[in-house]
Amino acid sequence: MAQKTLLKGRVLSFNGSPFEGEPTDATELHEAVLIEDGRIAALGSASDLSVAHPEAKVKDYGDKLISAGFVDPHVHYPQTAMIASWGKRLIDWLNSYTFPEEMKFDDPVYAAEIASRYLDLTTAHGTTTMCSFCTIHPESVDAFFSAAIARGQRVVAGKTCMDRNAPEGLRDTAQTGYDQSKSLLEKWHGVNRISYAITPRFSPTSTPDQLEAMGALWAEHPECLMQTHLSEQTDEIEWVRSLFPEARDYLDTYEQFGLLGGNGLYGHVIHLEDRERDRLREVDAALIHCPTSNTFIGSGLFDMNGLIREGHRVGLATDTGGGSSFSMLRTMAAAYEIGQLRGRPLHPSQLLWLGTVGSAQTLRMDDRIGNIAVGMEADLVVLDLASTPAIAQREAHADDLWEAVFPTIMMGDDRAVAEVWIAGRAVTG
């Protein structure tokens, strides 16, 4: 018989969106969660579950918070080693720091080392699933998926395609970009917990021929996600306008080549025009908010309130290493601060929802990950809400759960992560 494990603590689940109605009405607290065969088998009172499952191994986390593992739907794992590089805006930042680092991933040994380092760091921060850009090198995709399989993680990634405006050694062609993406997709998509995402970096680094080839591949595999960048910085938008003078707007440079769809993830989306907002909504595309990146690279303030009100699907992401952190807690804090700058503070339940359910929805995986419900995969993070003296002294006089959680969102880091569970297996927090 399968091993059962009963985790006791403050188990947080969502029964709806905290952006509809009162933010706290969408949440439920349970005393315990039962794990069996890598999945959530039951939720409920600790005594009922103990009586019903006397054979279960018990792990008592006291008053720690047990949440779904964090889901990070826009990252660049190859940028791990150059995170926190100083002083540049997007295009200069790419040319000065990013592209030289990404060149190194033609070496499978280096790619494996960084993939493993990245997954160690993100696990320590409580992230259990991410959607990553790799580099143009197929080796970088193999390294990432191999490392994820070794850890049993559900991940999404793809070969980043670029055939112009990138240095020699970091360019493919329309044909090789298509061929390599297709063979990686056929090799990896659906293996264990792996999903392949078709990945044109952004329209400035792809010719129309390459965008068309990526669109063709997506049409052949509409079940796959497609990820890219859209409307991040004003200089970038001007550049896109000069490269695609016929296009109605930035989104049109994707739309005209078949790269707009409901399985598309569009990172940043800060300076959108009305037509772009309307079309993204019509096709039910996923918009990814990357708040630490948007302040770090100086891109702008995402319109969370307006876009959610219009009915967009929104996820929350680190954008490591344009983002300045591996931590989804730090990312929630940055989203809160940007909300404040726009006059709309996000409630802690909304921040936690964005980093779990909301992000899982953007990956079309909310039936499997991002929440704690019977049948879902047991990817969990256990949070200590008093992990440092500064946080503990604030949490000590909290009046309710949300006041207890908020200091950890604003000031917490990997020290707040007491334990992480991946597919029902405890890994070190």
Instruction: Enumerate binding residues for ligand GUN (CB under 6 A).
Output: 76, 90, 94, 98, 201-202, 229, 232, 293, 297, 319, 322
Residue nearest to ligand GUN (CB): 322
Which H or E element spans position 70? strand 70-76
For strands 264-268 and 225-230, give the pairing.
parallel
Pull the structure tokens for residue 217.
């591949």
CB atoms inside a 10 Å sphere around CB 183 = 12
Give the whole-angstrom CA distance, residue 85 versus residue 99.
13
Q: For residue 136, give the nearest of 161, 163, 101 by alpha carbon.
A: 161
Residues 294-323 that bind Zn ion (CB under 5 A): 319
| Residue 202 interface partner, choices ligand GUN, Zn ion, none, CB cut-off 5-8 Å depending on type | ligand GUN
> How far apart are CB 365 and ligand GUN at their closest, in Å?
23
Q: Which is nearer to ligand GUN, 89 or 344 (CB)?
A: 89
Q: Which is nearer to Zn ion, 267 or 315 (CB)?
A: 267
Bridge partners (DSSP) listed for residue 181? none
Inter-residue contact 383 to 366 (CB < 8 Å): no
Mapped onto helix, strand or coil, the DSSP state of residue 8 is strand
Q: Which is nearer to ligand GUN, 97 or 336 (CB)?
A: 97
> How far apart are CB 292 and Zn ion at their closest, in Å?
12
Q: Which is nearer to ligand GUN, 53 or 229 (CB)?
A: 229
> How far apart are CB 176 and Zn ion at their closest, in Å?
22
| Residue 232 interface partner, choices ligand GUN, Zn ion, none, CB cut-off 5-8 Å depending on type | ligand GUN
CB atoms inside a 10 Å sphere around CB 173 = 15
Question: Residues 235-274: x/- map of binding to Zn ion (CB under 5 A)?
Answer: --------------------------------x-------
Q: Which is nearer to ligand GUN, 36 or 232 (CB)?
A: 232
> How far apart are CB 297 and ligand GUN at their closest, in Å?
6
Bridge partners (DSSP) listed for residue 196? 157
> How far apart are CB 349 and ligand GUN at their closest, in Å?
28
Phi–psi pair at 350, nearest 5 degrees? -70, -40
Q: Which is nearer to Zn ion, 23 or 78 (CB)?
A: 78
| Residue 125 interface partner, choices ligand GUN, Zn ion, none, CB cut-off 5-8 Å depending on type | none
Inter-residue contact 201 to 132 (CB < 8 Å): no
> How far apart are CB 160 and ligand GUN at their closest, in Å?
8
Sheet of 57-68: strand order equals 39-44, 27-36, 4-14, 57-68, 380-383, 417-422, 425-428
Give the whole-angstrom CA distance, residue 69 versus residue 71.
7
Query: Which chain residues interact with Zn ion by CB under 5 A?
Result: 267, 319
